[in-house]
Structure 1
Amino acid sequence: MQRGRISGLDQARSIAIIAVVAVHLSFQFPHLPQWATVLARMGQYGVQLFFVISAVTIFMTLDADRERYRAASHVTARFYIKRFFRIAPLYYVAIVAYGAMSWYTYNFDADHASILGPHDISDVVLNLLFVHAVSASAINNVVPGGWSIGVEMLFYSIAPVIFFFATSRARLVVLTIVLLLACAAFLATGACGGAALECNVRNNSFFYFWPPVQVPCFLVGIWCWALFRPYLTGQARLGRAGIGITLGTIALCGVATAVFGVWMGRANEYAPLVAACGSAALVLVCCSEANQRLMGRIAVAIGRESYAIYLWHFIFAFEALYLFKHSHMLATHGPLLSLAVFVVVLAVTLAASYMLSRLTDILIQRFASRFARGLLERVDTTFAFRQTASARVE
C-alpha cells in the first residue's frame, strides 16, 4: 500500500481498462484470428472487474471513515461528497465533448455516421442527474460507455445503507439474498416476460446494461472485502495453494463467462455475475502478488487514470474506425498482420488516452478535488461542533 492506495487494486484496474479498450477497438479488425477475436471481445467484462474493485474500494473507505468519525450521517456525507466530485466533473465534460463530436459528424461529415445513438435533451438531463441507467435512450447514447457510470452511481446511492446494515456476516447474507431476489424479479418481469429461466437477453442491449443484471457484481465485491480483507490490504499473502485455487477460479469463470456471453451467448444476463466472481479472484491475485518493478509501476499508473482513460479512449477508437474505414488498409491483410496492427493501435490508444487523462486531471480534476476537500473540511467542522455542543448539554 502506498499513499493510502493499494497498488494491487490499481494493477487490477489497469487490466480492466486495457480489456475494455481492446474490445472497443476489436470491431475495427474483422480479420483477427478467431482466438484473438474471442479474447478481445472478452474484454467487455473488464467493466465487471471495475465494479468488483469499486465495491472493495468503497467498503474500504467507509470502514476507514467509520473508525475516524462517530456519526453514520457524517461518514455518509463524506462518502457522497468524495464520490460525486470524483465522478461528476469529468463526466460532465464528457457529455459536452461527445455531444459536440456527435453534432459535428452528424451535420458536417456526411460520410461519417453520428458517433452516438438517438437521444434528446431529456436524456442529457438524466445523465446530468446520474439516473440514466433506467432509461433505454439515455443509458448509453449521451456518453459512449456511460451505462457503467450510471450503474456505478446507482450503487453509490445505496452503498452507505448497505454498509451500515451489513454489520455482520449474517446480515450480509440476508442482504445478499434480498438483493438477488429483487434483481431476479426485475429481470423476470422486465426482460424475460415473466419467465426468467427462458430469458434471452441480447448482449450489449438495454436489458444487459440495466442495473438488475449488473448490481450483483457489486455484491461479489462486497463479499470479497468481507472475506479476504487481510489479503486485499497486504496484511496477508496467498500461499501456493491459495494462488492455485484463485487461478483455477479465474480460468473456470473465464470459460463460463465466454460460454454464457460473447463466445456462445447462452445466457448473457448471467455472464456479468460469473465474470464478477472471476474478477474477485483476479483482484486477490493482484493484491497478493503486486510488485513495484517497471511493469508493475506502469500498471499502477494506468490504473490510477483508469476512469479518465475509460471516458476518453472512445475518441481514439472512433478515430481508428474513421481511419480504417476510409483507408481500407486492413481489407486484404491476413490474420497475423491484422493482429500485429491491432496490438500497435491498442498501445497507441492507451498512451493517447493516458496523456489526455493527465491533461484533464490538471485542468479539471485537481480543481474538483480541491473544492471537495474544502467541502469535507466544512462537513467535519460542522459535525465536530455538533458533537461538542451535544457533549456540553450532556
Structure 2
Amino acid sequence: MKKITFAVGDLQMGGSMRVQSVIANHLDKKNFDVSIFSMRKVKSYFPLNVKLTYAKHGITKLQFYFILIRTGILKYILKKPVDMTVIPTKKMVTDLIEYANNENVDTLILVEQWAVVAKELKKSLPNVKIISWLHLNTKIYESFLYGKSYSRLKDSYFYSDLIMVLTKEDQIHLKSLGLDSTMVMHNPLTIDNHNSKANLDSKNISFVGRIDFQHKGLDYLVEIAKNLQEGWKIYVAGKGMKHEEKKFQKAIIDNNLENKLLWTGSKNGKELKNHFENSSIFISTSRFEGFPLVFAEAMSFGLPIISMSNSGSEEVLDGGKYGVLTRQGDIADFLSNLEEMQNTKELREKYSYRSTQRLEDLKLEKIILKWEEILAD
C-alpha cells in the first residue's frame, strides 16, 4: 500500500483547506495510506480520518499572530517586499524529511507554500515522488503572494515530478516557463449530498467568502450594495482576521448599509444550507481565485452565479457558459448584469439549470478517480 503525505500550512477554515481534508479522507479509503503533515500547530477545523502530524519546529498560534503583525509592518508601513504567507523554515524542511524517511513515504504532496521548498526536499528525498499542488492563480504568486520568495518558488517548480493547478490558464502560464509536467486538477464539490433547491423568488442575494478586502473585493461589494435595488438584500457569510472584520463592519455602518448588506459570520452545515436555500442569486467580487469551491456549493442548490472575471471564476463558469462573468473591478458592468438577473425570473431559472449541469463535472467521485490515477503511477 503506497504511503501518501500531504504537507500543508494548516487545515483551518477556508475553501482550499476543506478540499485538502476531503481529498485526503477519501484517498485513505482507497488503496493508499494517507497522512497529513502540518507546519502550524493548530487543530484541523475539518473532520479528519487520517493521521495529522505537526512539524517539530512548527508555528504555534501565538507565533503566527506575531508573524502577521511583523508582515503587516514590513509591507504597509516600511513598504518592503514580503511573503504574504509563511514559508517553511529550514528546520521545518528537516522535520518533513525526517518524517518522510521514518514513515517510508512514497509520495509527498506539497500544498501551496511547501512548493517553495521542493528543491530542498527532492535533493534529500530523491526516491520520493514530489507533487506540488497549487491553489491560487499562478500569476498571483509573483505579483502578490511571494514578494521575497517567488524566484525560489520558480526554481523549485523544476524539482517537482508533477505540478497540479486549478485552471487551464495556470497550466499555460507554467508551460510558458518551460514546465511541461503540469496538469489541471479541479476542486470537487465537497458539501454533503442534499436535495434542497434555492428559492428563486427570494430577494436575497448570497455571498460566501473570507472577510478580506483585497482578495475578495469587499470594497466592490460595498459599492454594489449601495446601488442595490429596493427590497433586495445581500447576505454575507464568512469570517476573517479581526482587523479585516472591523474594517468591513465599519464600511457597512459608514455607508448606512445595515439593511442592505448583512454580514452574518461564518456558517457551515445546516446554517450554510439555509443561507443558500433562502437566496435566489449568488455573487462573487473576488479580484483573484484559484478554483472557488463555494461556487460549486452554491450551484448544488441551483443558484445562478454572477462573478467578476478572474482565472478561477472563468474556469468554474467555463468562460460564461454556466454563469455570468462581468469585467474585473467594473461596478457598473456588474450592476447591469445583476439588475437583469433580479428583474427576470426566466434568466434566473436558465442559469439555475446551467449550475446543476456544471456539477456533473465536479462530482467528488470523478475527481478522486483522477487522483487515484496520478498516485498509482
Normalization by structure 2: what TM-score?
0.27
Q: Comparing both structures, which one devotes a greater share of its residues to helix? A: 1
Relative to the length of structure 1, the TM-score reads 0.26
Q: Higher strand fraction: Structure 1 or Structure 2?
A: 2
